[in-house]
Amino acid sequence: MFYIQFKDQWVDHQFSYLTEDAERARLEGTRPGNEKKFVNRRSPLVICEELQTLSHIMTKDLISVSHDDDILHAYRRMERDQIHHLLVLKKGKFLGLLSSTDLLPYKKVKYAGMATVETILNTVIVAAHESATLGQAALVLKNEKISSMIVLNDDKEICGIVTVNDFLDKIAEVFP
């Protein structure tokens, strides 16, 4: 299940390339008896029993800034914590997402310390349920040309974030 943030709430969203027929065709080669198989690095010839989900790779320790923090504060926070995405909160409520790419143009601007993160944050946010498969989430990241996705639990509360780097870490684990 995927969502889009709209007017401060998560709305269910179905991407056309993740229809039931498209998913069946995409996964056909992984069904028992077919050539493709899910491989587990720890035992390279063993087929994984279950599809990996976002709950397996998401980052649960989320770092945030306040909507009224200045841009330079957000930039220094990303550098200090060695991350590329920050949640932006307003009175404890999720407002949007800020990426290091959003901050690049402001890095050397003389008055960037006077502007708040609220003026540049992304408010159109794609999210996925923690049970979404890695394949589905990877397709969404690729097709929507985004580098991160908020992860929600059954109550549509934020429980993590998944980034392109999380997928690269998983690939490095599976394919040494």
**Parallel/antiparallel/unpaired status of strands 85-90 and 64-66:** parallel
**Can you give the residue range of the structural domain that contains 92?**
2-15+52-167
Does residue 24 lie in a domain region?
A: no
Does residue 108 lie in a domain region?
A: yes
Q: At residue 100, what are phi and psi to the nearest 5 degrees?
A: -65, -30
**Parallel/antiparallel/unpaired status of strands 158-163 and 148-152:** antiparallel
Does residue 31 lie in a domain region?
A: no
Domain count, the chain: 1
Does residue 134 lie in a domain region?
A: yes
pLDDT per residue over 39-98, tens digit each?
554 444 344 556 789 999 999 999 999 999 999 899 999 999 999 999 999 999 999 999
Write the single-letter amino acid at 160: G
CATH for 87: 3.10.580.10
pTM across the whole model: 0.81
